Amino acid sequence: MTVFHVSDKARFDLTVIVLALLTAFGPLSIDMYLPAFGDIASSFSTDSNRVELSLTSFFLGLFIGQLLYGTASDRFGRKPPLYFGLVLYVVTSIACAYAPNLESLIVLRFLQAIGSCAGLVIARAMVRDLYTPQASAQVFSFLILVMGIAPILAPLAGAYVTAAWGWQAIFIIVASLAVACLAIVHVRLPETRAPNTAVRIRSSLPIYWSVLRDPSFLRYSLSGGIAQSGMFAYITASPLVFIEHFGLSPTHYSWLFGANAVGIIGMAQLNAWILRRRDSRKILNKSLPVLGVVSVLLIIAGWNNFGLIGVLVPLFLYVSTLGMVFPNAMAGALAEQQERAGSASAVTGSLQFLIAGLISALVNVLGHQHELAMVFVMGGCGLTAVIIYRLLR
């Protein structure tokens, strides 16, 4: 078995492209079926609010599932758990297409999320196996490019697929993509971690706890996760803010959503270029304070009700700055986790989705009290991320 060694240069070959595709299954599974909520509700004689439970169960699966793969990938190598996850994803995706009722779909979406977690966790661990922290930050910037494209193209593709063939076809398509990815993984993706019999699956919780107690890991993972959770607040509440409060049409809102996605993609690629000349931690030390300043501007804009443009500008800057903050924070979190990189990848992923879920719930609750609660929550996330990064130094 060929095991690759750490490189200090990020070469964007087929291996990196496959890793990027593996991370895309989660966002693709979230965004592609959103336009089909109405059709799904009609199929099961229910309303869209109940269909949203299938999205909630998916997020729950993302939180729990990542913890399942961390220690397993450290114990058995990266590829065997990845095979299991992709096969589970294929089977449950096909089952979703033929779900007899909404309750079955909700359960199957939970299992589908657990399958998709394999790509999220193991792709990050493989990046840590293959590259130094400096080079890995460049690769994470590329992964953000792929994950950023998904929210732009997936809803549009889902709408056309639903109109042409029905919502069931969405799940058949993602299952087919997973089959193709499984074949490429088997043929072209190298094994980056030899099995380690010293790692015990029953020791998962103690290993995860030891990772959480690592001050360096906690500093980077928490600050990056809390900063990113501001974007989840934006995703959750932006339709209410821009369509209902500011009166934008759904089409104009889609363009706005796409523009912010382009912002984070562009900044992530700028980050990759700067990383050729600067250390990733130095970039994070500069970009996080910028995020703090933008967060203050967001809060001021919301408090003084500066109107649509007054909110759009700091919002765009916040989302774009994440393109520099998140890849460098991720690289820093995994930098010193050599023998437990898989476990650390699982913990940081689950921690981020846990924080994001709590923030999404918070913005929903506060949205009933203030129409611009989204900007206050986003600003609070940015400032909290800066404070935690400084306090845990």
pLDDT tens for 235-294 read: 767 767 777 778 877 667 767 777 887 888 888 888 888 888 888 889 999 999 999 999
pLDDT band per the 50, 70, 90 thresholds, residue 28: confident
Q: Which of 100, 165, 236, 42 is nearest to 108 (CA)?
A: 100
What pLDDT does 148 receive?
A: 62
Asked if residue 86 has pLDDT above 90, the reply is yes
CATH of the domain spanning 11-199: 1.20.1250.20
What pLDDT does 217 receive?
A: 86
The whole-number average pLDDT for the span 204-217 is 81
Are 323 and 267 spatial neighbours (Cβ–Cβ below 8 Å)?
A: yes
What pLDDT does 12 receive?
A: 56
What pLDDT does 338 receive?
A: 63
pLDDT band per the 50, 70, 90 thresholds, residue 151: low
For residue 239, how many other CB atoms are within 10 A of its CB? 14
What pLDDT does 1 receive?
A: 42
The reported pTM is 0.72
The tokens of 331 are what?
Answer: 């690289």
CA–CA dist 280, 293 (Å, integer): 20
The whole-number average pLDDT for the span 133-152 is 72
Asked if residue 216 has pLDDT above 80, the reply is yes
Does domain 204-392 bear CATH number 2.40.160.20?
no
Burial class (CB in 10 A: 0-12, 13-18, 19+), 277: exposed
The tokens of 87 are what?
Answer: 């096969």
Domain boundaries, the chain: 11-199, 204-392
CA–CA dist 181, 184 (Å, integer): 5
CA–CA dist 142, 187 (Å, integer): 22
What pLDDT does 95 receive?
A: 97
The whole-number average pLDDT for the span 48-56 is 73
The tokens of 231 are what?
Answer: 């974007």
Check if 11-199 and 204-392 are the same fold: yes
| Mean model confidence pLDDT for the chain | 83
pLDDT band per the 50, 70, 90 thresholds, residue 337: low
Dihedral-angle region of residue 77 (phi above 0 means left; psi in -120 to 50 means alpha; beta otherwise): left
pLDDT band per the 50, 70, 90 thresholds, residue 115: very high
CA–CA dist 320, 314 (Å, integer): 10
pLDDT tens for 159-202 read: 788 888 999 999 999 999 999 999 999 988 888 888 877 767 66
pLDDT tens for 300-323 read: 988 887 888 888 999 999 999 998
pLDDT band per the 50, 70, 90 thresholds, residue 58: confident
The whole-number average pLDDT for the span 323-333 is 85
Main-chain dihedrals φ then ψ at residue 191, nearest 5 degrees: -80, 130
What pLDDT does 2 receive?
A: 44
What pLDDT does 3 receive?
A: 47
What pLDDT does 116 receive?
A: 92
